[in-house]
Structure 1
Amino acid sequence: MSKLSVGSGGSQRTNAGGTSTAERIAQHSVFERFARAGFVMTGIVHLIIGYLAIRIAVGDGGSADQSGAMAELGAKPGGTIALWVGAAAFGLMALWRLVEAALGSSSKPDADSKKSEAFHRAKAFALAVIYGAFAFSAYGFARGSGKSSSSESVGLTARLMQSTAGTIALIAAAMVIVAVGGYHLYKGGSQKFLDDLQGTPSSFVRRLGTIGYLAKGLAIAAIGVLVVLAATRSEPDKAAGLDGALKILGAQPYGVFLLVVAAAGIIVYGLYAFVMARYAKM
């Protein structure tokens, strides 16, 4: 009996120690403020992307993706300062997710199983990569050297398609993107996103999150499908990221209407990001 207690207690101490470390880092006042600012910047970027998508729908052109949003933000008065703040905020968001990937979540310390824990840590690492890319992009535009993410996606796709191994890797990456989109759809449809929030969310917040996650999921899944098509048809121009997906959508029958609906969904996700900035569990 005593041996069992020692073994179990040792495991609990290890988990508690890891959780305590994660909690101390995530809930440090300065760290938390900047990490929450990352949600604010995420919201701003999505609002601008939605606005750019509407401009594309009415024929004004532009690039409706993160690089287009950051270029648009940088062109406004005070935009460069906002981009520097955004780069720092996104960087700390990435660091927060890396802490979760390494030590586990401080807000969800009790995993149902090892498989569940592995999934949450893998998701945290993926988010760290995404926010790291956002931080790098914001840093580039703040310095005046930002590049179009659409053209970079097309260029990378073209290089990978020059070999069989690269094409296989491209298709595998595309399937991961589709899976991420599917997860957003599941999270929105099941309202699992509510688990990420403190307290009891209002019905308005529930609607924002549901619509936002469904719209974001469809957009991400569409990007993955386009990458698969680009790889299988040897057409790298199709792998133009979110901007390419939205422009292809706009070229379909009733495309203007569909593009405006997609833009509205992206804007709703941006509004929900502001909710996350206030109520997300850290």
Structure 2
Amino acid sequence: MSPSAKQAARTAKNSRVVRGLARAGFVASGLLHILIGLIAIALATGTSGGKEADQSGAFAELAAAPGGQFLLWAAALCFTALGLWLLLSAFLDRSWEGARSRAAHIVENIVKAIVYLVLAYTAYVFAIGGAASSAQSTSQFGAKLLSTPGGVFLVVAIGLVLLGVGGFMVFKGITRRFERDIRVPSGVRGTAVRVLGVVGYVARGVALGAVGVLFVVGASTNDPGKTTGLDGALKAFLSVPFGVFVLIAIGIGWIAYGIYAFFRARLAQL
């Protein structure tokens, strides 16, 4: 990247507009997690009405709500801004020392950016009146992989990566490493932020780990129906002992993370 291009990218990253929209992206993320948590609880109590317990189900809820189209367009814009900010931060942020730390920082930010940009696209699809099923898309993707030579190993690898990421989220929550991402306030407010962060990260990690387990199971049984993403993973808890209570706890945890994301919108070190 030329010096002029790098300076332009740095100016864009540090602009008040981009940072403001990026912070709003955390608000949109918080709302999304709260909706998914509520759907998970409804799923556990048998009142979900067939809604998908993932981002598609959450966006469908927004689309059906008063002013939902405006919220979807706003979410698409804010997720895009946050994704682009993370991409710029991956390569322009010099606060990480050492080659290994910098490499990890770049990879982490790129992965997060991709997630938010995918969310932006999904919000856009719903905003223009379309519909998408994350569970169906994930299952179709798994089926295509399983039908290709060596695809079963790729599905296993994806499952193991998801397990690893889920485990890291649990670790990040328990050890409170998420405090590195924000300016933790003092007093009762700070305690609330810490509790919400711990509960939220652990719940997200457990759910993502369950997705990884299903990918591995799907690969070992050659069953793409197992690779249905978050919705399938949460529904799978209903078939295990005490799974209803686990699913309710996960739903509460996702709601907790959603509230934490609202705090993060203001406290994030952008």
TM range, normalised to the smaller chain? over 0.9
Q: Deviations over 1:112-160 (max 9, x none)?
A: 3110110011000000110011001000111111211001111111111
Partners in 2 of 1:164 and 1:233 — Cα distance? Answer: 16
- Which range moves more in the overlay, 151-160 or 250-259? 250-259
Contact 1:22/1:100 (CA < 8 Å) preserved in 2?
Answer: no
**Cα offset for 1:255?**
2.3
Task: Describe how 1:210-249 pairs up with structure 2 within 5 A.
Answer: 210-249=198-237
Contact 1:153/1:240 (CA < 8 Å) preserved in 2?
Answer: yes
2:248 is aligned with 1:260 = yes
Q: Aligned to 2:150, what secondary structure does the other structure show?
A: helix
Partners in 2 of 1:28 and 1:162 — Cα distance? Answer: 47
**Cα offset for 1:24?**
3.4
Q: Residue type of the partner of 1:33? A: G
Q: Deviations over 1:74-124 (max 9, x none)?
A: 100100110001001111111011112232x2xxx3323110110011000
Task: Describe how 1:26-175 pairs up with structure 2 within 5 A.
Answer: 26-61=13-48, 62-103=51-92, 105=93, 109-175=94-160
Partners in 1 of 2:44 and 2:268 — Cα distance? Answer: 33
Is the radius of gyration larger for structure 1 or structure 2? 1
**Cα offset for 1:35?**
0.6
Partners in 2 of 1:69 and 1:251 — Cα distance? Answer: 23
The correspondence for 1:277, drawn from 262, 265, 268, is 265
- TM value normalised by structure 2: 0.92
Contact 2:10/2:88 (CA < 8 Å) preserved in 1?
Answer: no
Partners in 1 of 2:216 and 2:206 — Cα distance? Answer: 15
Q: Deviations over 1:195-253 (max 9, x none)?
A: 11125451111111111111111111111111111111111111111111111102222
Identity of aligned residues (%): 39
Partners in 2 of 1:34 and 1:184 — Cα distance? Answer: 25
Partners in 1 of 2:259 and 2:162 — Cα distance? Answer: 23
Contact 2:34/2:258 (CA < 8 Å) preserved in 1?
Answer: yes
Q: Residue type of the partner of 2:169? A: H
- Gap runs ≥5 in structure 2: none
How large is the RMSD of aligned CA atoms in angstroms?
A: 1.7
Q: Residue type of the partner of 1:25? A: A
**Cα offset for 1:63?**
0.9
- Gap runs ≥5 in structure 1: 1-13
Partners in 2 of 1:144 and 1:54 — Cα distance? Answer: 27
- TM value normalised by structure 1: 0.88
Q: Aligned to 1:212, what secondary structure does the other structure show?
A: helix
Q: Residue type of the partner of 1:83? A: L
Q: Aligned to 1:164, what secondary structure does the other structure show?
A: coil
Partners in 2 of 1:238 and 1:58 — Cα distance? Answer: 22
Query: Which structure 1 residue ranges, 4+ long, deviate > 6 Å from structure 2?
Result: none
Partners in 2 of 1:218 and 1:206 — Cα distance? Answer: 18
Q: Aligned to 2:222, what secondary structure does the other structure show?
A: coil
1:25 aligns with 12
Partners in 1 of 2:77 and 2:238 — Cα distance? Answer: 34
